[in-house]
Amino acid sequence: MKLSIVPSAHPRSVPSTAAALVLLLLTAACGGPARQQAAPEPAPEAVTAPADDGIPWFEGSVEAAFELAKRERRPVFLYWGAVWCPPCHALRARIFPRPEIRARLAAAVPVYLDGDTERAQIWGEKLGTQGYPTVIVFDADGREITRLPSLLPVGEYADLLASALDAARPISDVLAAAEAEGVATLPDAEVQLLAFYSWDQDSALGLDAARRRELFARFRSELGPDRKLERARFLALELAALAELEPAPALSSAERTGLASSLTALLSDPATRSTNLDLLVYRAGAVVTRLAPEPGPERDALVAAWSAAAREVEADEALSVDDRLSALAPQLELATLPPAAGPTPAVPEALRERVRERVRWADAAIADEDELQAVMDTMAGLLEEAGLLDEAKSLLSERLAETAAPYYYVGYLASLEAKSGRAPEAVALYRDAWQRARGATSGAGMTPFRWGSGYLRQAMKLTPDAEAAIAADSRAVLAELLGSPDAFAGGNWGRLTGLATAFEQWRAGDESERGAIVDAARAQVAAACAGLADAGPDSPGGRCRGFLAPRRAG
Report how far residue 429's alpha carbon sits from residue 407's, in angstroms, rounded to the nearest whole number.
Answer: 10
- Four-point Cα dihedral 318, 322, 328, 333, nearest 10: -130
Does the pLDDT value for residue 33 go beyond 60?
Answer: no
Report how far residue 524's alpha carbon sits from residue 544's, in angstroms, rounded to the nearest whole number.
Answer: 11
* Residue 280 φ then ψ, to 5°: -60, -45
Averaged pLDDT, 462-491 = 92
- Four-point Cα dihedral 254, 260, 265, 271, nearest 10: 130
Residue of 74, 59, 198 whose CA lies nearest to 127: 198
Report how far residue 238's alpha carbon sits from residue 262's, in angstroms, rounded to the nearest whole number.
Answer: 12
What pLDDT is stored for residue 52 in this prediction? 65
Amino acid at 494: G
Q: Which residues contact 228 (CB under 8 A, 6 or more apart)?
A: 271, 272
Report whether 20 contacts 122 (CB < 8 A).
no
* CA dihedral sign of residues 341, 342, 347, 350: negative
pLDDT digits (tens, 9 = 90+) for 239-258: 999 999 999 999 999 999 99
What CATH homologous superfamily does 31-206 map to?
Glutaredoxin (3.40.30.10)
pLDDT digits (tens, 9 = 90+) for 98-148: 899 999 999 999 999 998 888 888 888 888 888 899 999 999 999 999 999
Between 200 and 286, the higher pLDDT residue: 286
User: Which range (86-90, 380-384, 470-474) has the least confidence?
Assistant: 86-90
What pLDDT is stored for residue 548 in this prediction? 60
CA angle 274, 280, 283 (to 5 degrees): 150
Q: Is 89 exposed, middle or buried (0-12, 13-18, 19+ CB in 10 A)?
A: buried
pLDDT digits (tens, 9 = 90+) for 272-316: 999 999 999 999 999 999 999 999 999 999 999 999 999 999 999
What pLDDT is stored for residue 474 in this prediction? 96
Where residue 490 falls (left for φ over 0; alpha for ψ -120 to 50; beta otherwise) is left
What pLDDT is stored for residue 529 in this prediction? 81
Report whether 389 contacts 365 (CB < 8 A).
no
Please write down the HEC assignment for all residues of 370-401.
Answer: HHHHHHHHHHHHHHHHCCCHHHHHHHHHHHHH
Report how far residue 41's alpha carbon sits from residue 58's, in angstroms, rounded to the nearest whole number.
Answer: 19
What pLDDT is stored for residue 484 in this prediction? 83
Question: Any idea what DSSP says for residue 4?
Answer: B
Please write down the HEC assignment for all residues of 171-240.
Answer: HHHHHHHHHHHCHHHCCHHHHHHHHCCCHHHCCCCCCCHHHHHHHHHHHHHHCCCCCHHHHHHHHHHHHH
Report how far residue 506's alpha carbon sits from residue 502's, in angstroms, rounded to the nearest whole number.
Answer: 6
Q: Strands 76-81 and 134-138: what pairing?
A: antiparallel
Report how far residue 500's alpha carbon sits from residue 308's, in angstroms, rounded to the nearest whole number.
Answer: 47
Share above pLDDT 90 across residues of the chain, in percent, rounded to a whole number: 69
Q: Which residues contact 17 (CB under 8 A, 6 or more apart)?
A: none
* CA dihedral sign of residues 200, 201, 205, 208: positive
Report how far residue 471's alpha carbon sits from residue 460's, in angstroms, rounded to the nearest whole number.
Answer: 10
Q: Is the peptide bond before 448 cis (omega within 30 degrees of 0)?
A: no
What pLDDT is stored for residue 39 in this prediction? 44
Instruction: Read off the pLDDT band of 38 (50, 70, 90).
Output: very low
Report how far residue 299's alpha carbon sits from residue 288's, in angstroms, rounded to the nearest whole number.
Answer: 7
Report whether 138 contacts 76 (CB < 8 A).
yes
Question: Any idea what DSSP says for residue 128?
Answer: T
Averaged pLDDT, 43-70 = 80
Instruction: Read off the pLDDT band of 19 (50, 70, 90).
Output: very low
Percentage helix, strand, coil for the chain under 3-state DSSP, each rounded to 5: 60, 5, 35
Q: Which residues contact 549 (CB under 8 A, 6 or more apart)?
A: none
Does the pLDDT value for residue 384 go beyond 80?
Answer: yes
DSSP-based three-state secondary structure for 145: strand
Long-range CB contacts for residues 92-100, cutoff 8 Å, separation at least 24: 92/51, 92/53, 92/370, 93/320, 93/370, 93/371, 93/374, 94/154, 94/320, 94/322, 94/323, 95/150, 95/154, 95/157, 96/53, 96/54, 96/55, 97/53, 97/54, 98/154, 98/158, 100/154, 100/155, 100/158
Residue of 24, 4, 22 whose CA lies nearest to 14: 4
What pLDDT is stored for residue 549 in this prediction? 64
What pLDDT is stored for residue 54 in this prediction? 74
The residue length of the chain stands at 554
Report how far residue 485's alpha carbon sits from residue 45's, in angstroms, rounded to the nearest whole number.
Answer: 10
What pLDDT is stored for residue 503 in this prediction? 94
Listed in sequence order, the DSSP H helices in 49-137 are 62-72, 86-94, 99-105, 120-127
pLDDT digits (tens, 9 = 90+) for 400-439: 999 999 999 999 999 999 999 999 999 999 999 999 999 9
Question: Any idea what DSSP says for residue 252?
Answer: P
